[in-house]
């Protein structure tokens, strides 16, 4: 039974605690020229912005804790949102006094942007042993395009609180954390003392996450945890990992077998990044995914190989669905690892340049949410085979979107 190896992921988590790596110099003028032909004309419209580039909003960030019924301690949360940032404001430093500071564009506790219509929302789930700000290239980017993005630090399974057993309990508890995050968005939206009161469109909620957070995203999107397979593994092979997941399901849910539904119907579209997908779900579980899904995988990912996991989501999920395979991308291309650990092996050739990887991820995830959450078909041009052909040196694109 294949799971993410704790040694590999924990080693990188340690690096995260420590500028962006330049694996290969890129001509970004050439990259920008590859946007759809109509993009420059559309840019003149006040409500259309190139999905690969920062959107029209400044970005605010805030931190707080949320009490949840399924855990003994509060969950630490980070939230990004469209903001009105004073010109003199200083961007937030995410990792404090680390040798290589992680700094984006977000400003701590900036006032929310003024807009008459509410903002759509997204939830981000970090990887095993990582942290909720592991991918600010994406979370800040979505906020700049008008999304309120909320991200928990999954207890026992994050950079500052890492317990070995939480890998197995996380198969049950992580999706419950996401339910609690959407509950919190509802509470914030209804709170007359909140700066975001009435500012969040809870009918437009997306979900994304990396690695174990990709598993979490799939579970929220409808994939069923396959206790039939896991129980059989436990009984036949005394697979310690499978047994631990079954035991946690029995303890928390009172179930030992079956296909377990941990989804949240409030989520309308999903984008799992390098997800752990096959072992916990198998074909039967993945076939229940019935919301628009865009799965990502890298062909140099040796932690959760795309051919055994991300590609299986593409194969068995219901339509509409799409799959972006990124060439020369390792497992950590979906994080900001090269900002805080520029000597990390995946920050140099033969791995993809991180700026290029993040440009592509932002473009595809933003377009997916714009089309399938907001119904804005002007972004559909970025989700076509014809457009992907322009990026043939970097990606392979598979889609059954019906656009």
Name the pLDDT band for 164 (thresholds 50, 70, 90).
Answer: confident
- Tens of pLDDT along 340-359? 999 999 999 999 999 999 99
- On the question of pLDDT at 327 being above 70, the answer is yes
258 inside domain: no
pLDDT reported for residue 18: 39
64 inside domain: yes
Name the pLDDT band for 21 (thresholds 50, 70, 90).
Answer: very low
Range of the structural domain that residue 128 is part of: 6-223+263-400
pLDDT reported for residue 403: 86
pLDDT reported for residue 10: 39
pLDDT reported for residue 45: 47
Q: What pTM does this model have? A: 0.89
The domain tally of the chain equals 1
Query: What is the percent of the chain with per-residue pLDDT over 70, rounded to a whole number?
Result: 88
HEC states along the chain?
CCCCCHHHHHHHHHHHCCCCCCCCCCCHHHHHCCCCCCHHHHHCCCCCCCCCCCCCCEEEEEEEEECCCCCCCCEEEEEEEEECCCCCCCCCECCCCCCCCCECCCEECCCECCCCCCEEEEEEECCCCECCCCCHHHHHHHHHCCCEEEEECCCCEECCEECCCHHHHHHHHHHHHHHHHHHHHHHHHHCCCCCCCCCEEEEEEEEEEECHHHHHHHHHHCCEEEHHHHHHHHHHHCCHHHHHHHHHHHHHHCCCCCEEECCCCCEEEEEEECCCCHHHHHHHHHCCCCCCEEEEEECCCCCCCCCCCHHHHHHHCCCCEEEEEECCCCHHHHCCHHHHCCCCHHHCCCCCCHHHHHHHHHHHHHHHHHHHCCCCHHHHHHHCHHHHHCCCCCEEEEEECCC
Look at strands 161-162 and 148-152 and give their pairing: unpaired
240 inside domain: no
Neighbours of 32 (CB within 10 A): 14
107 inside domain: yes
191 alpha-carbon distance from chain centroid: 27
Token readout for 89 is: 């404001």
46 inside domain: yes
- Tens of pLDDT along 215-274? 999 999 999 999 999 999 999 877 888 999 999 999 999 998 999 999 999 999 999 999
pLDDT reported for residue 239: 84
Token readout for 222 is: 């409808």
For residues 218 and 291, give the distance between their C-alpha atoms in angstroms, rounded to a whole number. Answer: 10
pLDDT reported for residue 86: 87
75 inside domain: yes
For residues 26 and 183, give the distance between their C-alpha atoms in angstroms, rounded to a whole number. Answer: 42
Contact 393, 329 (CB under 8 A): no
pLDDT reported for residue 237: 76
19 inside domain: yes
- On the question of pLDDT at 17 being above 70, the answer is no
Query: Which of 95-104, 155-164, 220-229 has the highest mean predicted lDDT (pLDDT)?
Result: 220-229
- On the question of pLDDT at 181 being above 80, the answer is yes
Q: Name the one residue in this structure whose structure tokens are 């078909």.
A: 377
Cα distances (Å, whole numbers) of residue 85 to 142, 183, 283: 16, 27, 47
Name the pLDDT band for 175 (thresholds 50, 70, 90).
Answer: very high
Q: Which residues contact 386 (CB under 8 A, 6 or more apart)?
A: none
Q: Which residue has the higher pLDDT, 15 or 70?
A: 70
Name the pLDDT band for 96 (thresholds 50, 70, 90).
Answer: confident
For residue 141, give the CATH number of its domain: 3.40.50.1820
Name the pLDDT band for 77 (thresholds 50, 70, 90).
Answer: very high
Listed range (237-251, 273-287, 309-323, 360-374) with the worst mean pLDDT: 237-251
pLDDT reported for residue 158: 86
pLDDT reported for residue 127: 96
pLDDT reported for residue 99: 80
Name the pLDDT band for 97 (thresholds 50, 70, 90).
Answer: low
Mean of pLDDT values over 69-78: 95
For residues 174 and 262, give the distance between their C-alpha atoms in angstroms, rounded to a whole number. Answer: 10
For residues 318 and 341, give the distance between their C-alpha atoms in angstroms, rounded to a whole number. Answer: 38
For residues 108 and 90, give the distance between their C-alpha atoms in angstroms, rounded to a whole number. Answer: 8
Listed range (11-25, 56-70, 135-149) with the worst mean pLDDT: 11-25
270 inside domain: yes
Find, among 265, 262, 272, 308, the residue nearest to 290 by Cα.
Answer: 265
- On the question of pLDDT at 35 being above 80, the answer is no
- On the question of pLDDT at 191 being above 70, the answer is yes
Neighbours of 320 (CB within 10 A): 20
HSE of 65 in the Cβ direction (CA atoms, 13 Å)? 7
For residues 267 and 402, give the distance between their C-alpha atoms in angstroms, rounded to a whole number. Answer: 20
Mean pLDDT for the chain overall: 89
Listed range (6-15, 364-373, 393-402) with the worst mean pLDDT: 6-15
């Amino acid at each position: 039974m294949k799971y993410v190896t704790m040694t590999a992921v924990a080693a990188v988590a340690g690096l995260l605690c420590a500028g962006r790596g330049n694996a290969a110099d890129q001509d970004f003028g050439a990259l920008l020229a590859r946007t759809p032909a109509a993009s420059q004309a559309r840019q003149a419209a006040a409500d259309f912005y190139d999905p690969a580039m920062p959107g029209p909003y400044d970005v605010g960030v805030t931190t707080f804790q949320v009490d949840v019924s399924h855990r003994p301690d509060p969950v630490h949360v980070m939230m990004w949102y469209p903001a009105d940032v004073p010109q003199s404001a200083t961007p937030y430093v995410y990792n404090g006094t680390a040798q290589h500071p992680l700094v984006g564009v977000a400003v701590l506790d900036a006032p929310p942007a003024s807009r008459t219509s509410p903002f759509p929302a997204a939830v981000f789930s970090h990887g095993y042993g990582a942290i909720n700000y592991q991918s600010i290239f994406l979370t800040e980017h979505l906020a700049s395009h008008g999304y309120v993005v909320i991200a928990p630090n999954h207890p026992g399974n994050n950079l500052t609180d890492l317990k070995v057993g939480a890998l197995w309990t996380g198969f049950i508890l992580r999706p419950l954390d996401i339910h609690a995050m959407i509950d919190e968005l509802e509470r914030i939206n209804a709170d007359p003392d909140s700066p975001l009161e009435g500012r969040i469109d809870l009918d437009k909620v997306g979900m994304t996450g990396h690695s174990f957070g990709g598993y979490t995203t799939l579970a929220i999107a409808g994939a069923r945890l396959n206790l039939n397979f896991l129980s059989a593994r436990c009984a036949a092979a005394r697979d310690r990992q499978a047994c631990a997941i079954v035991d946690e399901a029995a303890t928390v849910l009172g179930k030992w077998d079956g296909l377990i539904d941990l989804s949240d119907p409030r989520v309308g579209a999903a984008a799992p990044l390098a997800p752990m997908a096959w072992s916990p779900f198998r074909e039967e579980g993945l076939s229940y995914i019935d919301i628009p899904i865009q799965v990502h995988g890298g062909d140099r990912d040796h932690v959760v190989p795309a051919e055994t996991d991300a590609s299986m989501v593409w194969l068995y999920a219901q339509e509409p669905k799409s799959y972006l395979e990124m060439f020369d991308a390792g497992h950590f291309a979906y994080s900001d690892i090269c900002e805080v650990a520029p000597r990390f092996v995946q920050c140099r050739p033969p791995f993809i340049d991180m700026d290029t990887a993040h440009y592509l991820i932002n473009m595809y995830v933003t377009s997916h949410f714009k089309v399938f959450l907001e119904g804005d078909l002007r972004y559909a041009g970025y989700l076509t085979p014809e457009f992907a052909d322009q990026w043939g040196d970097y990606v392979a694109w598979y889609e059954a979107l019906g656009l």
